[in-house]
Amino acid sequence: MPPLDTAVAPRNGSTRPGTKVRNRIRTVTSVIVVLFLASVAFFLTWGVDGHWDFALPRRIEQLAALLVVGIAVAVSTVIFHTLTENHILTPSIMGFDALYILLATSIVFFVGAYAYAEIPDLLLFSINTGMLVLGATLLYRWILSDATRGLYTLVLVGVIGGTLFGSVTSFMFRVMNPNEFDVLMTVLFASFSSIDTAVLGIASVLLVGGTIAAYRMISVLDVLTLGRDRAITLGVDYRRVVTVLLVIVAGLVAVSTALVGPITFLGLLAANLAYRLTSTHRHTVNFPVAALLAVTMLILGQAALQHILGYAGTLGSIINLAGGIFFVILLVRQSKP
Amino acid sequence: MISVESLTKAYNGDAVVDAVTLQLPGSGLTTIVGPNGAGKSTLLSLISRILGPDAGTVIADDIDVLSAPGTEVAKKLSILRQDQNTTARITVRELVEFGRYPYSKGRLTEACHIAVEEAISYCDLVSLEERPIHEMSGGQRQRAYLAMVLAQDTRYVLLDEPLNNLDMVHATGMMRLLRSLADDQGKSIVLVLHDINYASVYSDRIVGMRDGEVVQDGPTSEVITPDALQAVFGTAFPVHDLAGNKFADYFR
Ligand SMILES: Nc1ncnc2c1ncn2[C@@H]1O[C@H](COP(=O)(O)OP(=O)(O)OP(=O)(O)O)[C@@H](O)[C@H]1O
Ligand SMILES: [Mg+2]
How far apart CA B41 and CA B21 sit, in angstroms, is 16
Q: Tell whether A170 is within 8 A of chain B (Cβ).
A: no
Element of type H or E holding B93? helix B92-98
pLDDT along chain B (252 residues), means of 10: 93 90 93 93 92 92 91 92 74 92 88 91 87 84 90 94 87 91 92 92 93 92 88 87 84 78
Report CA(B194)–ligand 2 centroid distance (Å): 10
How far apart CA A12 and CA B182 sit, in angstroms, is 27
> Which range (A119-133, A196-210, A261-275, B22-36) has the least confidence?
A119-133
Sheet holding B213-219, edge to edge: B77-80, B156-160, B188-192, B28-33, B205-210, B213-219
A15 pLDDT band, cuts 50/70/90, is very low
Q: Model's pTM, two decimal places? A: 0.86
Nearest CA in chain A to B48: A233
For the cut 70, the answer to whether the pLDDT of residue A151 exceeds it is no
Q: Tell whether B50 is within 8 A of chain A (Cβ).
A: yes
Average pLDDT for residues A149-159, to the nearest whole number? 71
CATH code for the domain in which residue A223 is found: 1.10.3470.10
How far apart CA A42 and CA A300 sit, in angstroms, is 9
For chain A, give the percent of residues with pLDDT over 90.
Answer: 18
CA A260 to chain centre: 12
Report the nearest-CA residue for atom 4 of ligand 1: B11
C-beta atoms of B113 and A12 within 8 A: yes
Average pLDDT for residues A206-219, to the nearest whole number? 93
For the cut 70, the answer to whether the pLDDT of residue A12 exceeds it is no
Q: How many domains does chain A have?
A: 1
For the cut 50, the answer to whether the pLDDT of residue A6 exceeds it is no
Interface ipTM: 0.89
Report the nearest-CA residue for atom 24 of ligand 1: B36
Report CA(B179)–ligand 2 centroid distance (Å): 21
From the list B90, B106, B118, which residue is nearest A7 (CB)? B118
Report CA(B34)–ligand 2 centroid distance (Å): 9
Confidence at residue A190, expressed as pLDDT on a 0 to 100 scale: 58
Helices and strands of chain B, counted as H and E runs: 10, 12
Question: Are B190 and B159 contacting, i.e. CB atoms less than 8 angstroms apart?
Answer: yes
> Which range (A112-116, A163-167, B211-215) has the least confidence?
A112-116
> Who has greater pLDDT, A274 or A9?
A274
Average pLDDT for residues A292-299, to the nearest whole number? 92
Closest chain A C-alpha to B36 CA, distance in angstroms: 20
A28 pLDDT band, cuts 50/70/90, is confident
Confidence at residue A10, expressed as pLDDT on a 0 to 100 scale: 38
- The domain in which residue A100 lies consists of 4-8+15-335
